[in-house]
Amino acid sequence: MNQMPKQSNEHPNVWVFDHPVIQDKLTRIRQKDTQHTEFRRLLNEIAGLMCFQLSRNFQTMQVKVATPLKVTEGKRLAEPVTLVPVLRAGIGMTDGILQMIPEARVGHIGVYRNEETKEPVPYYNKVPQDIAGGPVLLVDPMLATGGSASYAADILFNEHGCTNVQMVCLVAAPEGAARLQKDHPSMNIYTASLDQCLNEKGYIVPGLGDAGDRIFGTI
């Protein structure tokens, strides 16, 4: 069985991880009775598992390494990796990815969604100065309308000169996927699930509720 992420037929920029372990953890996260401590743990575990797979495309370089027996050759990541969680919920996936790539740098972009207009409102932007020198993982558990993700991507591409930005999320809505494909066609979206749709309030269905509230216990 091939457990690599599968490309969506309807949204070619979306890659869905259907690995049994990821899907098991996603089902536990969706459960409305899951407490915030377990929610955080499961979210980080899924983030780490997805990172392990999507990082197979990162560039490597040959290096000399001295083992206890002899000098030989090995491989190291050729470029610095930067995580950029979209505040606040994106923080909930950061530790899981850092466990896989502990040397990664972490920037932050603060964007919240105006619940009336459904449009993004920015409030924070702090990333490494040389962020454009390697792959960037834009991290947010939920890709709903795509407004916040697209705005954050605008900052990375246009203000910081990034050329290799990928989105990592837990669940995505078709509407958000379509917006990112339109606004930033070079970006791939890696997710554990491409859900059905958005409801009239802009929430992902079936989704998992408000990820930020469930991560931080502020429901």
Cβ atoms 132, 107 nearer than 8 A: no
Band of residue 67 on the pLDDT scale cut at 50, 70, 90: very high
Q: What is the CA radius of gyration of the chain?
A: 18
- At 1 the pLDDT is 46
Domain 12-58+79-216: which topology? Rossmann fold (3.40.50)
* Structure confidence at residue 119 (pLDDT): 75
Cα–Cα distance measured from residue 129 to residue 50, given in angstroms and rounded to the nearest whole number: 26
What confidence category does residue 102 fall into, taking pLDDT thresholds of 50, 70 and 90?
Answer: very high
Token digits for 28? Answer: 């536990």
The DSSP output letter for 158 is I
Percent of the chain surpassing pLDDT 90: 77
* Distance from C-alpha of 139 to C-alpha of 97, rounded to nearest angstrom: 10
Q: Looking at residue 9, what is its pLDDT?
A: 87
Give alpha helix (H) positions in the chain. Answer: 20-30, 36-54, 91-100, 147-154, 174-183, 211-216
What is the average pLDDT across 95-121?
A: 88
pLDDT of the residue at 57: 86
Q: In the chain, what percentage of residues exceed pLDDT 70?
A: 98
Give pLDDT, residue 2: 53
Tokens of 3: 């457990």
pTM of the model: 0.91
pLDDT band with cut points at 50, 70 and 90 for residue 3: low
Sorted by sequence, the CB contacts under 8 Å of residue 95 that are 6+ apart come out as: 44, 47
Domain boundaries, the chain: 12-58+79-216
pLDDT in tens, 6-35: 888 889 999 999 999 999 999 999 999 999
pLDDT in tens, 144-200: 999 899 999 999 999 999 999 999 999 999 999 999 999 999 999 999 999 999 998
